[in-house]
Amino acid sequence: MAKEKFTGVKGMNDMLPQDAPIWQHVQKTCVGVLEAYGYQEIRTPILENTRVFTRGVGEVTDIVEKEMYSFTDSMNGDQLTLRPECTSAVVRAVNEHNLLYGTTQRLWYCGPMFRHERPQRGRYRQFHQLGAEALGMAGPDIDAEMILMLARMWRALGVGPVKLEMNTLGAQNERQAHREALIAYFEAHRGELDEDAERRLYTNPLRILDTKNPEMQALVEAAPKLLDFLGSESRAFLNRLEELVSAAGIEYLINPRLVRGLDYYNHTVFEWITDKLGAQGTICGGGRYDPLVEMLGGRPAPGVGFAMGMERVIELMREVGSVPVRTQTDVYVLHHGGESQTAAIALSEELRDLGVRVITHPGEASIKSQMKKADASGAALAVFATADELANGTVGVKALRAGASAYAEQTLEPLEGAAAKIAAALAH
């Protein structure tokens, strides 16, 4: 019988061991920054009832119209969807557990999202977002704080310059007036609309501005701008946001065409964009979504959040060469099997008690072949718990690469106290 070779699902990637350090580094760095601003983690299931997203994201959006992995639960007929984004899920959980009762919440999440898109560089069917939601706080100070927090993350990650674009979607009534002007404008240019635009003309004309069709760029460029429909409150909101972002020394561009793909936004929307990743250059998007908590069944409460695409951020870091080198092993312990192995295992445990990352050679082999493994492991030090050394109550220690200079020459250490000395040498 021919052997069957299995492959993963198209557009869904394995994260291989060699990529683990960078993924862990990005999450750890971002979480460090999030904690500096008082954010706490929340985890929601990757499956939700489909209604959470159709309601939360909006019916007339790319996500809901064509990107969701939805299915019927064969056990009970429930309509379920693999989460395409996490904001709706977080708000669902916050409402369900009354987390906003008389208080505010600053929450972050990190995990896989699923969208049925055409896979290409920077666009996958399973991808990962790290995001945050600030709930119960209405002012532009919180929107600005979120921008500052992201700027701090970009600095900490060393992604190089990324452009901040901001816009406002105003308030509901302002969008309504703008919407009517947009419909009138696009009706007057009906012949130039593509299929998507035609379909959205009456359901979601704002979204037409978001088109990626190059043939429609001139048309949307000249369309009525929401900025011209803003009342004094929305203007003041945007002005204060701009003031605070400028005061922090962060450069930005107001892009009137930035409307973003999700339905629930009002006031602030923003994106961070790089020109180093081609068409998939948006590494992070976010905005204010004051209507969402109530739309998902909660008591009205304002919210603002962002989501960054981890794959794109990591790709950018590789592009600008800011991927940190971190070996995965500090010490490789060699031995002669039997009692020597028993001593090697005990010494390894002692080292681990001191926070050292250790590989004890598995099984038995010649010292020469163990040394090859030690070298390949990336360890800084080789420790010889070999029969002859142990017979003298010592172990041998030798640096395998530049760094642990105390052991540039192979050195004998008394077994008693060896672990502490080795750990100290590694700390230098």
283 binds ligand ATP (CB under 6 A): yes
Q: How far is the CB of 130 from ligand ATP (least distance, A)?
A: 9
Two tokens, residue 248: 């922090």
**CA 290 distance to own-chain centroid:** 23
Which residue lies nearer to ligand ATP by CB, 33 or 269? 269
Site track for ligand ATP across 129-148, x = CB under 6 A: x-------------------
Beta-sheet pairing, 381-385 with 331-335:
parallel
Among 25, 116, 123, 225, binds ligand ATP (CB under 6 A): 123
Question: What is the Cα–Cα distance from 208 to 132, expressed in whole angstroms?
Answer: 27
Two tokens, residue 203: 């359901």
Residue given tokens 């004998």 in the structure block:
412
Q: How far is the CB of 316 from ligand ATP (least distance, A)?
A: 10
Candidates 119-127, 213-221, 242-250, 347-355: pick the segment binding ligand ATP (CB under 6 A): 119-127
Nearest position to ligand ATP, beta carbon: 309
282 binds ligand ATP (CB under 6 A): yes
Q: Restricting to residues 204-263, name those near ligand ATP by CB under 6 A.
A: 260-261
Which residue lies nearer to ligand ATP by CB, 212 or 428? 212
Candidates 95-103, 276-284, 368-376, 381-389: pick the segment binding ligand ATP (CB under 6 A): 276-284
One-letter identity of residue 267: H
Among 140, 285, 305, 396, binds ligand ATP (CB under 6 A): 285
Q: Restricting to residues 57-116, name those near ligand ATP by CB under 6 A.
A: 85, 115
Q: How far is the CB of 62 from ligand ATP (least distance, A)?
A: 6
Two tokens, residue 427: 């700390």
Q: How far is the CB of 27 from ligand ATP (least distance, A)?
A: 15
Q: How far is the CB of 214 from ligand ATP (least distance, A)?
A: 15
Nearest to 389, CA basis, from 418, 361, 412, 364:
412
Which residue lies nearer to ligand ATP by CB, 27 or 411? 27
117 binds ligand ATP (CB under 6 A): yes
Backbone φ and ψ for 149, nearest 5 degrees, come out as -60, -45
DSSP structure string for 333-391 = EEE-SHHHHHHHHHHHHHHHHTT--EEEPPS---HHHHHHHHHHTT-SEEEEE-HHHHH
Question: What is the Cα–Cα distance from 57 to 42, expressed in whole angstroms?
Answer: 19
311 binds ligand ATP (CB under 6 A): yes
- The three-state secondary structure class of 332 is strand
DSSP structure string for 125-187 = SEEEEEEEEEES--SHHHHHHHHHHHHHHHHHHT----EEEEEE---HHHHHHHHHHHHHHHH
Among 82, 107, 284, 347, binds ligand ATP (CB under 6 A): 284
- The three-state secondary structure class of 104 is coil
124 binds ligand ATP (CB under 6 A): yes
127 binds ligand ATP (CB under 6 A): yes
DSSP structure string for 7-28 = -PPTTB----GGGHHHHHHHHH
Which residue lies nearer to ligand ATP by CB, 287 or 396? 287
In the DSSP assignment, the letter for residue 207 is G
Candidates 157-165, 222-230, 307-315, 325-333: pick the segment binding ligand ATP (CB under 6 A): 307-315
What is the size of the binding site for ligand ATP (CB under 6 A)? 19
159 binds ligand ATP (CB under 6 A): no
Distances (CA, A) of 249 to 141, 166, 176, 243: 15, 15, 34, 10
Two tokens, residue 176: 């309504």
274 binds ligand ATP (CB under 6 A): no
Which residue lies nearer to ligand ATP by CB, 283 or 423? 283
Two tokens, residue 48: 């939700």
Question: What is the Cα–Cα distance from 193 to 197, expressed in whole angstroms?
Answer: 6
Residue given tokens 């240019």 in the structure block:
189
Which residue lies nearer to ligand ATP by CB, 200 or 335? 200
Which residue lies nearer to ligand ATP by CB, 229 or 265? 265
Among 151, 244, 307, 379, binds ligand ATP (CB under 6 A): 307
Candidates 42-50, 178-186, 305-313, 375-383: pick the segment binding ligand ATP (CB under 6 A): 305-313
Binding site for ligand ATP (CB under 6 A): 85, 115, 117, 122-124, 127, 129, 260-261, 280, 282-285, 307, 309, 311-312
